[in-house]
Structure 1
């Protein structure tokens, strides 16, 4: 178990990263768009701030260890997984400037109902990610067997229904971001995220089956990777 001072330090690091993320978000939204007069971008930022602060407060209460686990890509992460991480993070990052350029050149004008759908998916995906992290102290950014942290199979919360809830809600989050900004074009990098997450799911499954005791038995109890009855 990670000690509390380390958790506190990780929380401070998380908040600093949050501030930096906001600054970068402002730059990649408003510089490529060429204007601050973009209401959907401002509301997107507000939603991001509110959702992140709520999720952070809740996770600090129920699973503060997660801030240490997710503070960086931990040593021992499988080498191939670094490629997946770069592609996924790159896809998420590109959503914002692509939407901004779309807006600048007369696009990003999806109807309001599409934007509201985006906000609904955003709320669902943020809540789902927080739920998964709340019950899973091993929810790290990289794929590895966490022998140093006594990793065991997690089968509570959303893991009682699907084996990889983080990937489901992460894919939904990417799509929601493009829709919130009203940009059909920004769905392209969002689709990149989903396209990469599928083989990463299979890669992680192969690793867990081979190296984590009890995981194969877990797959027999919980049959679905993402969507019950589908896959």
Structure 2
């Protein structure tokens, strides 16, 4: 499991690096190196911890983004995510290094690094509370899927998405792209759309979810939405 985690992490980082540096037209981009290093270090740290704490969830998270039992609409969503993610990275490479369309103060890079760190630490708490936090939307019947309502799930119904927003904000700050930052609201809307459709499925197929949703009113941020 650890070997698979390392291989997938290296391949993921290599792919992102190819897109970022290819769009930038240079390897001389400290922000991109910083971003890839932080992503790799934190990803491996959480993955190794998860291998000991909940290997079943790690296996789910290392699975394909298109799986048997996954909702058809979510397969479409994940395909769109792949395209949007690559396009976003390309835009930030073009903006921050190749054409310098915008200029961001270097101090904001530190803010971005901190935002990504906090989001990953919070994700660890999410995984501790929910053994079914797979990357795809499906009912994990073979693993005894049930409602998770402890830890961060006692406050919002989608804490993983909520902390993902902080990650999305941190990414263009580390890379130094205001054009990338302008895309974040659109990405958040995509997460919100997925959350609504996911809840619709969970209400229909997961016993106890409707009662949980009535008890925990907010999806992402308490007293907001």
TM-score (ref. length: structure 1): 0.89
C-alpha contact 1:91 1:192 (8 A) present in aligned 2: no
Q: Deviations over 1:83-140 (max 9, x none)?
A: 2212233333333221111121023530123222211211121112222122212111
**Is 1:21 aligned with 2:21?**
no
Equivalent residue number for residue 119 of structure 1: 113
Residue 99 (str. 1) matches residue 92 (str. 2): yes
**Structure 2 residues without counterparts, runs of 5 or longer:** none
In 2, the alpha carbon distance for the partners of 1:16 and 1:76 equals: 26
Residue ranges of structure 1 left out of the alignment (5+ in a row): 1-7
- Higher mean Cα deviation, 34-43 or 107-116? 107-116
2:131 maps to: 137
TM normalised by structure 2 equals: 0.91
Match of 1:62 among 53, 60, 63: 53
- Aligned equivalent of 1:46: 37
Deviates most, 68-77 or 90-99 = 90-99
C-alpha separation in 2, matches of 1:208 and 1:67:
21
Aligned pairs (5 A) from 1:73-84: 73-84=66-77
SS of residue matched to 1:185: helix
Distance in 1 (CA, whole Å) between partners of 2:204 and 2:75 is 20
1:203 matches 2:197: yes
Shift of 1:148: 2.1
CA root-mean-square deviation: 1.7
Give the superposition deviation at 1:217: 1.2
Name the SS of the counterpart of 2:179 in structure 1.
coil
How many corresponding residue pairs?
222
Q: How many angstroms does 1:65 deviate by?
A: 1.3
Distance 1:203 1:18 in 2: 29
Structure 1: 4+ residue segments shifted above 4 A: none
